[in-house]
Structure 1
Amino acid sequence: MKTFLFFLSILLAFHLSTGVTFGNPDSSGYDSSDDSKPVNVDFQNGLNAAKNGNYKLAVKHLKRAAKSSPNNPDVYNMLGYSHRKLDLLDEAFIYYQKALKLNPRHQGANEYIGELYLRTNNLKKAEEHLEVLDDVCLFGCDEYDDLKDSIEKYKKSRE
C-alpha cells in the first residue's frame, strides 16, 4: 500500500507541476473551469455561434477575440474549427497551426488538425497528432478517442 501511495503522490506532483490534464470534457479544448482568465465576450460569442452551427458569425466574433487575446490558443483553435466547417481548409490549417505554435499540446487543436489532415488524405500527419494526444492524455481523453475513431473510419473507407 505504501508503494501505491508513493507512486500516486509522484503522479499527482507531476500533474500539478506540468499542468498536464487527464482528460477534457470539452472537445474544443477550451478550459472553461479556469476562473483566472478574464472572460473574452467575443470568444464566448464565437464559441456559442460555432456550437449552434453559425460558423460565419463565429468567425466574425473569433477574429475580434484574436485581436484582443492574440496569445490564446483556444481562439485560434475555434477559428480553425469554424473555417474547417465552412470548407475553408487552407485557412483552417493556418489557425490550427497558430494554436499549436502557442500550445503544441493543445488537445482540441491536435484533434481537429488531425481530422483536417484526414480530409486532405494525409493519414501520416493525422497519426502524428494522435501520438501527441496519446502523450498529452495520460489516461485518455475525448480528443484522443475522437481522432482515433476518425482514423479507424478513414482506414476502413480506404479498404
Structure 2
Amino acid sequence: MWIKKFMMALTFVAATQLLSAQLLHAMGSSNNDQPAAKAADPNFDMGKQAIDAKDWPSALKSFRLVVGKDPKNADAFNYMGYAHRQMGDYASAFKAYGEALAINPNHKGANEYIGEAYLKTGNLEKAEMHLAKLDDICTFGCAEYTMLKRKVAEFKAAQN
C-alpha cells in the first residue's frame, strides 16, 4: 500500500515540475545555493524591474552596481548576461554567464540562458552540453531544463 502512495506522490511531483515548466517563463535566477538575502539590495530589485520592463540598459546599470558591491552574486551576473543577450551582445552575454557559472557551476538559470545564447550563435554542441548539465542538476526535472530542451528541439527542427 505504501508503495502505491509513494508512486502516486512521485507522479504528482513529476507532473507539477512539468506543469510549472510550461507555465513559467524562467527568468533564470534560480540559484538555490544563495540565500534570499542576496536580493535585498535595492539595485537588484531595480534591475529585476528593468528586466521585466525590457529596459536592458537600465538593468545592466543596476546589476553592475550589485556586482560592484557583491562580486560573488551569480544571480546578478546571470541577469546581466540575459540583458546583454536580449540586446544582441553575445560576447558580453557569454562573459556575464561565465562569471555566474564560475561562482556557481550549478546555477540553473545561467546554464539555461548560456545554452540559449549558444543556440542563437549556432553552437548546438555547447547548448547540449549545458542541457546535459541541467539534466544532472535537476534530478526530478526543472523549468530551466525543460525550457532549454524545448529550445534545442526547436533549433534542431529548424535545421532540418
With normalisation by structure 2, the TM-score equals: 0.80
Closer, same or farther: CA 93–104 of 1 in aligned 2, 3 Å = same
The answer to whether residue 70 in structure 2 is matched with residue 49 in structure 1 is no
Please name the residue that 1:113 is paired with: 114
Task: Give the C-alpha shift of residue 137 in structure 1.
Answer: 0.6
SS at match of 1:84: helix
Distance 1:135 1:50, change over 3 A: same
AA in 1 matched with 2:158: S
Aligned-pair Cα RMSD in Å:
2.5
The count of aligned residue pairs is 143
Shift of 1:29: 2.1
User: Which residue is equivalent to 1:156?
Assistant: 157
- Paired letter, 1:27: M
Map 1:30-69 → 2, pairs under 5 A? 30=30, 34-37=35-38, 39-69=40-70
Q: Is the 8 A contact 1:84 1:92 kept in 2?
A: yes
The one-letter code matched in structure 2 to 1:76 is F
Any runs of at least 4 consecutive aligned residues in structure 1 with deviations exceeding 3 A, and if so which? 1-4, 22-27, 30-38
Counterpart AA for 1:55: W
Q: Which residue of 1 aligns with 2:99?
A: 98
C-alpha displacement of 1:31: 5.4
SS of 1:70's partner is coil
Task: Verify the 8 A CA contact 2:30 2:107 in the aligned structure 1.
Answer: no
Gap runs ≥5 in structure 2: 5-16
TM-score norm. by structure 1 comes to 0.81
Richer in helix (by share): 2
- Letter aligned with residue 142 of structure 1: A
Aligned partner letter, 1:130 = L
User: Cα offset for 1:37?
Assistant: 3.9
Q: Which residue of 2 aligns with 1:7?
A: none
> Which stretches in structure 1 are left out of the alignment for 5+ residues?
5-21
Which residue is equivalent to 1:138? 139
Q: What amino acid does structure 2 have at the position aligned with 1:29? A: S
